[in-house]
Structure 1
Amino acid sequence: MAGPIRKVSAASARAHTRRKGHANSSFLPRGMIKKLSVVLFIGLLAWSYQAIQPTPPKICGSPDGPPVTSSRIKLKDGRHLAYTEYGVPKEKAKYKIVFIHAFDCCKFDVIPISPALLEELGIYLLSFDRAGYGESDPHPKMTEKSTALDIEELADKLELGSKFYIIGFSMGGEIGWTCLKFIPHRLAGAAIVAPVANFWWRGFPSNISKEAYNQQFLQDKWAVGVAHYAPWLTYWWNTQKLFPGSSVMSQRVDGFSAEDLKLLPILAAKGQYRAQVRQQGDFESIHRDMMVNFGRWDFSPLELDNPFPNNEGSVHLWHGAEDLIVPVILSRYISQKLPWVHYHELPDAGHLFPMADGMSDAIVKALLLGDN
């Protein structure tokens, strides 16, 4: 049965309406909600902006920066380049070589040419910290061209003469192509060793660049993709903790080949100077390196002309077929498109093959003497 019907008085109805109105008044007015949304959105943007900003660099020689312990020259734009020298004095040298170090390395990470060969052939070997690494000042406006010009100015400051050789390893090998583009008139010859390649260089067929790109760890596909398409996110991408950044930056070793793993103890023995490599800040060294070398280049090595049309010098490209860090397929393609490049592919070698006993001497002999 239904319950009794209650009569509601007019006074009770008015009281109920007042209580309902009072309850509704506890919600923010629509205009206030819009203003609060705008404030929250601006706050989120500000937080995001701060999150992607790199920490300021600690410049060597500045009041809060690392000390300067190496020889340095001052470039015309005011920056300093730090360097070290090996072999015979340059005044007595028959051959002068500038070495270009790899990613996340410094001037001390030079390929191990034997002292006996340096002496026998009369080689002066110059190695320098690339911009932002070691004790060389950062270069906020660094491009694919700027390191080649740094090398030319360094050679002039140290009076190496009108021509010199270059040897570039890994990321330094990639920079070797820029030397062939921008300072070919200063080169007596070049050895480009296990070079990193930019997957977006003009001239690579899409199937070739895609195959090489897909040979990387997933985290590296993302890391180089960010460096290319959204370079302003490179610092945040490789410092946030939500997911892994570049495996090379984190020094993940399971990407090395079996032959590379045998050579890793040689690198570990150099650990006494590792702290110097990134001492001015990760952004100014490894992050900017990625942004430039996987960025949008104004030229492609596949478009290069032979810098030695009269055989007055030579270019040698070396790569290990078992290189799991830098896919060999891109170097193979470059060698096919540039027939003037002397291509050396080592069937069982990984990325670190220049560290193997006698290998660096073989690279130097091929460059200077034409040995194969």
Structure 2
Amino acid sequence: MIDEFKIYFLFFDRAGYGESDPNPSRTLKTDTYDIEELADKLQIGPKFHVVGMSLGAYPVYGCLKYIPHRLSGASLVVPLINFWWRRVPQNLLNAAMKRLPLGFQLTLGVAHYCPWLLYWRMTQKWFPNSRNPKDTMTKRDFELAEMHTKHSYIKESALRQGEYVSTQRDIIAGYGNWEFDPTELSNPFSESNKGSVHMWCGLEDRQISRDVLLYICDKLPWVKFHEVPDGGHFIIHEKRHFEAIIKAACTE
């Protein structure tokens, strides 16, 4: 596919991950401009396609908002749902939140309302602070997760600076107060018609609500919505689904 579409993949570590410097004040906006600066420093050209999965999809929303002129396209794969978006019906967000284990709901609430307490929340021993994988993963998700992290150095390398400056600040950025709502975004390709935005949803996904994603796409008819009937949360790690995601990005 790389040869067929004449593309290449650029992966990078967001602030605090791997060897990237931490950013104590990181936000959706700073992560977006990190992407633009990286593109400029590496001289990859005036336009590029961004792909984000799950929590890693919030910078894609940021690119659509803050640097749409730099995009040739965007793909949001099982993207996170911020339960405090202003223009998404609260009943849909409440239903989506209830899909998550109580401990994880409380963690996200702390990240949103009291981010300075998140480190304590994630390290204390009295209350459950995260989800049980068995409650939020399909059997295939479990298999894919084990395949993806079977070499311990992958996780060790990603979290080498500690989970506080990487994972926890990532959660705060993704679930904090956004300066915009996804339904307020404008089509970056309305004039040129050269580019597309795709959203992918696994119908077996136990973490992300299809109803919320579908509502966003109903408000943004220029976003192409893709459903994967047998897909869970880790569809991007399934070869055939990943190829479908890339093919759609390159041809539609």
How high is the TM-score relative to the length of structure 1?
Answer: 0.65
Higher-Rg structure is 1
Conservation of the 8 A alpha-carbon contact between 1:174 and 1:197: no
Distance 2:139 2:150 in 1: 19
Q: 1:265 aligns with which of 146, 155, 163?
A: 146
Q: Superposed, which structure 2 residues align to 1:1-372 within 5 Å?
A: 117-247=1-131, 252-310=133-191, 311-370=193-252
Displacement of 1:270 in angstroms is 4.3
- In the alignment, structure 2 segments of 5+ residues that lack a partner are none
**What whole-Å deviation, never above 9, does each CA across 1:226-249 have from its counterpart, x for those lacking one?**
1111111100011000011122xx
- Any idea what SS the aligned residue of 1:361 has? helix
Conservation of the 8 A alpha-carbon contact between 1:320 and 1:347: yes
How high is the TM-score relative to the length of structure 2?
Answer: 0.95
- In the alignment, structure 1 segments of 5+ residues that lack a partner are 1-116
Conservation of the 8 A alpha-carbon contact between 1:259 and 1:348: no
Structure number with the bigger relative contact order (C-alpha 8 A, sep ≥ 6) is 2
Displacement of 1:119 in angstroms is 2.3
**What whole-Å deviation, never above 9, does each CA across 1:207-235 have from its counterpart, x for those lacking one?**
10110011110001100001111111100
Conservation of the 8 A alpha-carbon contact between 2:60 and 2:76: yes
- Any idea what SS the aligned residue of 2:9 has? strand
Higher normalized helix content (fraction of residues): 2
Conservation of the 8 A alpha-carbon contact between 1:228 and 1:295: yes
Partner of 1:22: none
**What whole-Å deviation, never above 9, does each CA across 1:169-211 have from its counterpart, x for those lacking one?**
1112222111100110000001111101101011111110110
Q: Name the amino acid aligned to 2:103.
A: Q
- Any idea what SS the aligned residue of 1:125 has? coil
Conservation of the 8 A alpha-carbon contact between 2:55 and 2:171: no
Partner of 1:93: none
Conservation of the 8 A alpha-carbon contact between 1:223 and 1:237: yes
Conservation of the 8 A alpha-carbon contact between 1:266 and 1:355: no
Instruction: Supply the RMSD in Å over aligned alpha carbons.
Output: 1.4
Displacement of 1:120 in angstroms is 2.4
